[in-house]
């Protein structure tokens, strides 16, 4: 694994610490459980798409909840083009899963 990928993995792992605690506690009504999260081979919490077709169901997005990392990812995907919520969300969800609500909140503050 090269240095950039290793650094990304470490940052994601640290950012998911609270998420792992929430998943282990299995709090009823926690919205995270509705995403059917699982731990991938790399140790990161991931979600699968709702698609039933094999070629789409293989999308294994890394779950990033609210917080500084989520906001950085959103800004990084939004700022080059300054397009709307749907475009930004589509770019993010190629690799990560971030809520639409979080994307809207960040884009609302974009000048």
100 — pLDDT class (breaks 50, 70, 90): very high
Report the pLDDT averaged over residues 37-60. 69
Residue 56 is predicted with a pLDDT of 47
Q: Of all residues in the chain, what percent carry a pLDDT higher than 90?
A: 34
Predicted structure pTM score? 0.79
Give the separation between CA 87 and CA 82, rounded to whole angstroms. 9
Per the listing, tokens 């009823």 go with 28
């Amino acid at each position: 694994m090269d240095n950039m990928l290793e650094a990304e993995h470490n940052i994601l792992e640290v950012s998911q610490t609270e998420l792992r605690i929430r998943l282990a506690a299995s709090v009823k009504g926690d919205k995270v459980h509705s995403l059917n999260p699982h731990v991938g081979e790399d140790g990161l919490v991931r979600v699968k798409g709702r698609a039933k077709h094999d070629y789409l169901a293989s999308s294994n997005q890394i779950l990033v909840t609210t917080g500084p990392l989520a906001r950085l990812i959103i800004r990084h995907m939004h700022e080059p083009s300054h397009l709307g919520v749907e475009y930004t969300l589509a770019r993010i969800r190629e690799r990560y899963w971030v809520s639409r609500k979080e994307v809207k909140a960040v884009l609302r503050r974009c000048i």
